[in-house]
Structure 1
Amino acid sequence: MYLMSKGLWGAIAGDETTSEAKEQQAHAAIVLNLSDSQLMHVIDSATAREAWGRLARFHHSHDMANRLWLKEKFASFKYAASSMSGHVMELEDLVMKMKRANCGPSEEDVCAVLLRSLPASFESLVQAFRMSVASFSFSDLVSKLIAEEVRQNEAARVEDATALYAGKRKGKQYPKKQQVRRAKGPSGTCYNCGKVGHYARDCRSGRGPREQQHDQSNVAFHASEGFASDSWVMDSGASAHMCKDRDAFEEYEEVHHARSISSAKSNVKLNVIGHGTVKLRVWTGHAWIDARLENTLHVQDLSKNLFSLTAAAARGMTVEITRNECVVKRGGTPVATGRKQGFLLYLNADYGTECHMAEDDTELWHRRLGHVSYGTLNATVKDGRIKGATMKTNVACDVCATSKQVRKSFKTSEEDAETRESSRSDVVVCSDVLGPITPASKSGFSYAVTFILMKSRYVTVYPLRKKSDVASAFERFYQDVKTTSGTKIKVLRSDNGGEYRNETMNSFCKAKFIKQEFTVPYNPEQNGMAERMNRTLVEMTRCMLKESGLDKSYWCEALMTAADIRNILPNASNKNSSPHEMVFKKVPRIDHMRVFGAQCYAHVAKEKRKKLDDSGVRCFFLGYEKDQKAYRLLNADDGSIVISRSVTFAEHSVTKASKSRDTQVFDVIEEDESVEASLTDDEDIPAPVTEEELRTPPLRAQNSSHHGPSV
C-alpha cells in the first residue's frame, strides 16, 4: 500500500515505463523499512523487483506440511492475547499465512473460529450473534467485540494500570465490591484461587501464588507492516498510553521501582523505564490540533506506540468505532481520529520529519550542533530547519567560554576583503595541516589536513599519520570533487610547508594543470580562511570532548562530527544556504543530529546474541557513520566501535564517558601560535567534514535520517 500511495508500484510490477529515479526510490523504500533480521535477505539486491521477489519467496511457503500445520493451528485457535485487538491481530496473521499457502478459509469460517475462541466473558455477545438471522461480516463482528471490550474494561477499571485484565497489585489488598466487577469464570470458577463456587472478589485466599513482587500490567503488543514504527496504534486493551521513543517526551520522569507489562505475543514481559507527557499534532477530521498525552509510559521495546482508548474514556471522552475509522470526542466535539489498516486502528497524527523542539531545548540543540555559535543556531531556527526553538543571544555556556577563548583579531582592510572576495570560487581550494595533535587517535593519527572549496566553504578533512601523506590525500580529494560536483580545481593555496612543496605534490599539480599559490614565509594571514577554519575546528572538537568526558584519543571522531555539523549549517559568508546545499544542490536534514558523547542504547541483532542475552547495549555517541544511515557508537563495556541505526538516546541528562575530565583536552603545536586570521571574531566559518580511516571519499552527500513524529 505504501508503494502504491507513492506511485512506486510500477517498479515491482515490472512496468517498463518506470523511470530510473522511481526504481531507486522503490528500492530504497523497501530496504529502509525492513528490520535487521529481514535486511539480510535483500542487502545485495540490485532492483526493487528483485528485493520484493526475494522477500516473497522467503515468506511464502506452499508445501503440504506447512498447509497442514496452518490448518491445525486455525482449527485449535484460542484466546491467548491481552486484548481483543491483539487477539484479532493474531487471527488475521494466521489467515494471511493460510491464504499465502493457498489454503485460505472463507470469511464465514473465520467468523466461526473467532466466536469459538472468545473467553466466557463474551458469551452473551457470542450467543446473540449465533441466534441472529441477519448476515454479518467479519468487520462487523470485530467492531462489536472491540466495543464490548471497552465496555467491560470500563466496568472493571481499577487504580493500577491495566491492559485487558486487571493488573496484579502489591500486598494482600481486597477490592471493594463497588470498585471492581469481575466476570464469572467457567462454571463459577474463581479467577484467584481456581476453586468453584465463588467470585474472585469474595475469595478468602488472598492473592496466593499469583502475587508478584513488582507491578505488572498487560498490553496488546503487535507489529503491523504498512505503517512506520513511529506511528500510534489506537488500542482498546491498554489503559495507559505507551511510547517507545524517549525523545518524544516533552516531560519525563524515570521509574525507580520495577514495573513491567505483558504483551499479547507469548506473554513476553516488557519493562517500563519511565513516564511523562508526549505532545502530538492530531487530526480531528477538520483541523490539526496539539494534543498532550499525559501519564504516558515509556516502553522501549514496543514495535508501535499505543494510544489507549481506555485512558481516553477515563478522561471523560467517548470513543466511536465504525467499519473503517475511529473518532474520539469530548463533549460531542471530535478531538482525534483514526483510520483502519487491516484490523488495527492508527491514530491520525503528524508523523512529519521536521525537527520540532520545546522552547527550553534550544541549549540541547546548541550541544547537538557541537557548541556552534548562537548566531548560526539562530539563523538555522529562522530559516525553519528547527521548529519551536527560540532565538537567543549571549547565552552563557561554560564549555564555550573555556574552550573558545581567543585574542581579539584585527579589522580586515578593504584591500584584503576585495582580494578575498575575488578568489571566492570552488575552483580555488585553500589547505592547511593541523597538528601534531597529542595524544594520537585510537587509529594512530597525529595530523589532519583540511581542504576548503572557497566559494561554498565546504570543508573536507583527512586524518594523517604523518605530514608526508598530504599529497596522497589531495589526490583523492581532487578526484572526488571532480566526480561528485563536476568542479575542476584550478588553484591550490597553502603555506610553504614541506608537505606542499615536494616532488610528489608538484608532479600531480602539473599533470592536472593546478596552480599552486604559497604564502609569504611567516605570514599565515595570507591563508586566513584555512587558518580560521582550523581554529573553528579545534574549538568545536575541544568543546565536544570537554563536555562528553571522553578520552583525548577520541579527538578524531569529534573532529569528524564537528566538520559534519558545520557543513550542514549556514555561515556568515553564505547566510541563505549551507555549504552542503551549495555543493550538492539539496537542503540537508538535521533532525538526526545528537549530542556528541551522549549516552545511548544500541540494538543488538538477534544473530549476534543468545536467546536470553540483552537485546541492547549501552554506548556513547561518536558521530555519524560514513556512507550509511547509521550512528557510530562506542561500546561502554568493552570499548569496541558499534555501527547501528536502531539507537535510543538519553541526551537530556549529561552522562560522562570517563571518570576524569581534563580542562586541556588536547594540545595543538603550531608553527606560530600568535597568528591571527584575516577574518573577524564574529564571522562564522564552517568547520570541515572529515574522514577517519582514509577509506571513503571526502565529499559526500549528507545522510538523511528518518525520525519519528516531532513533539
Structure 2
Amino acid sequence: MTTTTSGTTTTTTTTIVGRKFDTSSISKLDGDNFRVWKVRMSSLFRSHDLNEIVDGTSTRPAAVGDPQKEWDKRNNEAMTSLYLCMTDAEVESISGCATAHEIWNKLNTMYQSISGESKQVLWQKYYSIMVTSGKSPVKTMIEIQNYAAQLRSMGAVIDDEMEVARIISSMMDEKFRQFREAWRSVEIAKQTSALLLSRLKTWELEDGETYKNASHVEETSKAYAAKKERPKRTRQEISDLKKKTKCHICKLKGHWKSECTFKDKDSAKKEQKSDEKSEGAYMAGGLSDLWINDSGANRHYCGRKDWFFEYTEYPCPKSVSMADNSLMLVGAVKVKALINKVWVEITIYQVEYVPGGANLLSENVLLDKGLVVSKSGNNQIIYYRDGQRDIEAERRDGLQIMKFKPIVNRAMACIKPVVWHERLAHINSKFLNDTKDKEAAYGLENMKREDVNFKCEICMKAKSKKKSYVTVEKTVKYLPGECLHSDLGYANAISKNGNSYFLVVKDEASAFRQVYFQKKKGETAMNVIDAINFMRTQTGNNVKMFRSDNGGEYKCQELVSFFSKRGIRFGLNSPQCSPSMDS
C-alpha cells in the first residue's frame, strides 16, 4: 500500500490480494465533507462489487466454508477502503464496528440525521444563502441545489421551478437588477435551472472582463498619482522656459497653452468634435428607454406602449411572466439606430407589448432573418446584413445595450397644453412651454403652443382665498363659564377603545375647551352635563347660555329637561352656518 498526502487531498492506492483500489481522488472524511465523501465511496464500492456488503444486503453465511471465506474477504476489502479514506479521529469513532455495514450505518447516523431538527436547520440554510462579494452567483446556485438535494432525500418536495425562484431571490444586490429584469422576460416554460446556469456563467465572464478593465484603470491612476511632484520653478525660470518652448495651440514661443488667445477657438472645435462623439455613444436616460440585445428571447418585447405606431390586440392575452396580462398587443415600433455612425430610422416588426417590462431585441429572430452577428472582445456587438454593417450594440453593466434612440408615437402624443398641464401635476404653463421649446422631455413635440396664461379652473380654485366673515360685535359680555358652545364630530379612524366620535365643549369668554371621546351619539347628553358641572365648579359661575347645532343628540329630552331645571338658555345655531358655533 502506498499513501501520499498533499494538502487536503490524499492519494492512496490499495492492493489487496491482486485487486487494486484507486482512491487518489477521494479526500479523507473529516466530518464536514460527509455528503461528497459518501457519493464517491458509494461509486467506488459499486465499481468493485462491494455495495451489497456495505449496505447490508449481503449477510455473512452461517455455514463454515468457501462462501463464508469469500464474504469475509470482500468485507475486509470494504473495511480497509473505509479506514484508508478517513482521518484518525473518524477511525477512532468507529473502531468498535466489526463489519463494513456497521461502519456505514454508524457514519450515516452521525452525519446524516433525518430528524425534524436537522431538517429545520437545512431549511434555514436553504433560505439564508445570498450572493456576496466573496461568493459568485454560480457557486451560490450550486450550494442552493446541494441543500435542495439533501432536503429531497428527507422527503421535502422541491421542484425545478422552486429552485430557480430561490436562486433568483438570492441575487438581490443592485448589481443584479438588470439581470433579474432580463430573466423575468424569458417565457415561464423556458425558465429552467439549466438555462439559468448558462446565463449566470455568461454574466460572470462578462463581469470578469469589466472588472479587469476597471482594475487596469485603477492601477494606472495609482501609478500616475504615485509619481513624484516636480519641484516648483521660480518666476524667472518660468519666463526663460516660455522663451524656449512653443505653445501647443498656436505653436508660437513666448507663452503657454493656458495663456494663448486662440484657446477659445480651439475649445469650440473640441466641443464640436465631442458632440459628434457623444452622438455615436448615445445613452438613454433610464432602463425603460434602452433596448437590450437578448440571445435567449424567442421574439421582440417592448414595455412602452407609446412607442408603438401600429398594433393589434390579442383576443386572448398570452402568458408573459412580467405582465399582469390585462392587455396583450403585438405591433411595430420605430427607433433611430446607429448604422455606420449615422442615425437611421428603422422599424421593428412583430414586437409584443409587455406592460412595465424590459425592451428586448431577440437575437434569435434577427438570425432567422439572415443577419449575422459578430461579438468582439472590445465590448462591441455588430450585426451584418448581406455582408454590410447594420445595427450594433455595446456591453455595459453585464448587458448588451443596442445603440437605439426611441421615437415616441405621434398618434399617441397629446397636442393640448391643458392636458399636459394636468398630467404634470398642474405645472406652471410657462415652464411647460419652455420644456417643449428646449426638447427636454419626450412627448411634447406635437404640443400646440398656446397662450401661456390659459385659465385652469382647478388652479384658480386652489389658489383663491376664502373671504372672512364680517365681525359682529356682541352686546352681551359673558364671564368665564357662563356661555358654552358645543359640537359633535366624527373621527376618521376608530380608536383602540372603539371610540368613533369626539365632543368639544368650548367656553366663550376664556376659550377653554373640553374634549370627550364617545362610542355612540347617545353619550352626548351625559358628557354635556359633566362639562357644565365642571365649569360651574372651577369658575364659580353658573352656566347661563348653551349653544349647539340642531343635532338630535342635543335636542334629546334628557338635555332639554336638564337645561330647564338649571335655568340655562338653549341656543340653536342656524343650519349650514359654522361660524356662528364659535367652536
Greater RCO structure (CA 8 Å; 6+ sep): 1
Q: Larger radius of gyration, structure 1 or 2?
A: 2
TM-score (norm 2): 0.29
Between structures 1 and 2, the one with greater helix share: 2
